Amino acid sequence: MILSSDNISNTLLNIINGTPIFDLHTHLFPPKHEGYFLLGFKNLLNYHYLIAELLTATNIDASTFYSYNDEKKASLIWNELFEKRTPVSEACAGVLSILKELKIVINNKSFLSICDEYDNKIQSDKNVLELSNVSSLVMTNNPFDLDEWSLFNTNDWNKKIYLASLRLDDIIVDYEETLKKAKDQTSNQENTIVTYLEKCYSQSYPVYAAVSLNLDTFHTIFKDTIWKDILVWLENKNLPLSLMLGVKRAVNKDFGLAGDGIGDINLKELSNLCNSFPKNKFLVTCLSLNDQHELTVLARKHPNLKIFGFWWFMNQPTIIKQILKMRIDMLGFSFIPQHSDARVSDQLIYKWSHFKKILHPILLEYYQDLLDKNFPISENILHRDIDSLLSGNAKKYLGIK
Ligand code: RAT
Ligand code: ZN
């Protein structure tokens, strides 16, 4: 059916809401992975984005805060950011969106009574996957963290929903230590890291490998033979390397996980990388607003570079609105517009509903413009496009069904 200016908005909204999502980058684990699987209101409040906001908005000392148990941390965040202050930031708004979705009214309820009500409504990852319409997601799996990696020694979890990725930051952060770990896990003394990755591959069947880099560490990819070996191995496996560019770790060490910030990156080097390894596939996201225009231009020049998502400090509505349009203007719909980066399962609900709220009016603008130019838009076209944006583009790039 060909749509008209009058009915396209609702049809588009229904299709956006009804399309299952493939989430390309999360920090989630299946419920079976005890100690790593996070769910519930307290975990939601103890998100490092909110911790950073708390520690900078108040005079609470970071080490005192981290000495508290989870309940005390969460109730402090609730009290300081949601009761004493107006919760307007994106991270706070996320919590409120989830409460609204669960029909939990705040009124003057105590923190603990909200917790109880919340925990009655969200009891498993299934509730979250249903509410967010996420059909499968990619975890962040560190092969050099043997406790975390022990997930792959078990089989009683859903490998069709929770897909693996190999996070390789440790190789950059502490090469010697990482090499030692790889040696311990393999009998091969030559090309140990790659031998170990091969072993990890057959345990986990990852859909990509990933590393976060900045100006200081990007060179290692060219300089160190180990990375050449890794790139050759990835090419043979047809696995993309996801490059998360422009992070500076521990800008404020005291803040722990909440203390990372923005570092520099030179995207000319990314362009060199794409040229030097034309048969490798690169998924790329940049943390700084400053790099977005150049990154988009590069994605027009290198077929082996695919932009994905609005990473961390980029994941703010004001920024997304502007940059999403710029990406569409230059790339059409040939990129992966979003990932959730969720650490607590429940966050899938707000990360995706917030994105859809931005996506709908922006896409509508483009479709209205096409209708104005007499280009016919059918429901089938909308289904095709939304499926590509929320799932198909990523899956195709990863070569998964
Ligand atoms: O967004 C985040 O949660 C950050 O802490 C990082 O984990 C980042 O997404 C990363 O994958 O390095
Ligand atoms: Zn992440």
Q: Is 244 in the pocket of ligand 1 (CB under 6 A)?
A: yes
For the chain, give the number of residues.
Answer: 401
Give pLDDT tens digits along the chain (401 positions). Answer: 899 999 999 999 999 999 999 999 999 999 999 999 999 999 999 999 999 999 999 999 999 999 999 999 999 999 999 999 999 999 999 999 999 999 999 999 999 999 999 999 999 999 999 999 999 999 999 999 999 999 999 999 999 999 999 999 999 999 999 999 999 999 867 889 999 999 999 999 999 999 999 999 999 999 899 999 999 999 999 999 999 999 999 999 999 999 999 999 999 999 999 999 999 999 999 999 999 999 999 999 999 999 999 999 999 999 999 999 999 999 999 999 999 999 999 999 999 999 999 999 999 999 999 999 999 999 999 999 999 999 999 999 999 98
CATH 3.20.20.140 residue ranges of the chain are: 8-29+131-398
Q: Is 343 in the pocket of ligand 1 (CB under 6 A)?
A: yes
Q: What is the pTM of this model?
A: 0.98
Structure-token pair, residue 91? 């991270």
Structure-token pair, residue 246? 């422009």
Cα Rg of the chain, angstroms: 22
Per DSSP, the three-state class of 195 is helix
CATH of domain 8-29+131-398: 3.20.20.140
Q: Is 133 in the pocket of ligand 1 (CB under 6 A)?
A: no
Q: Is 167 in the pocket of ligand 1 (CB under 6 A)?
A: no
Rounded Cα distance between 291 and 298, Å, is 11
- Closest-lying ligand to the alpha carbon of 142? 1
C-alpha closest to that of 382 among 19, 21, 15: 15
Average pLDDT, whole number, for the chain?
A: 97
Amino acid (one-letter) located at 106: I
Distance from residue 383's CA to the centre of ligand 1 (Å): 31
CATH 1.10.2020.10 residue ranges of the chain are: 40-123
Q: Is 169 in the pocket of ligand 1 (CB under 6 A)?
A: no
Cβ atoms 30, 240 nearer than 8 A: no
Q: What is the pLDDT of residue 401?
A: 86
Which of the listed residues 341, 344, 351 should we mutate to test ligand 1's pocket, taking the one with most ligand atoms within 8 A of CB?
341
Task: Note the pLDDT tens digit of each residue in 24-60.
Answer: 999 999 999 999 999 999 999 999 999 999 999 999 9
- The alpha helices in 102-254, defined as continuous H runs, are 111-121, 125-132, 146-149, 169-173, 175-185, 192-204, 215-223, 225-237
Per DSSP, the three-state class of 179 is helix
Which of the listed residues 23, 312, 347 should we mutate to test ligand 1's pocket, taking the one with most ligand atoms within 8 A of CB?
312
Rounded Cα distance between 75 and 219, Å, is 44
Q: What is the pLDDT of residue 188?
A: 65
C-alpha closest to that of 250 among 214, 282, 288: 214
**If you classify domain 40-123 with CATH, what class do you get?**
mainly alpha
Q: Is 212 in the pocket of ligand 1 (CB under 6 A)?
A: yes
Rounded Cα distance between 148 and 142, Å, is 7
- Closest-lying ligand to the alpha carbon of 312? 1
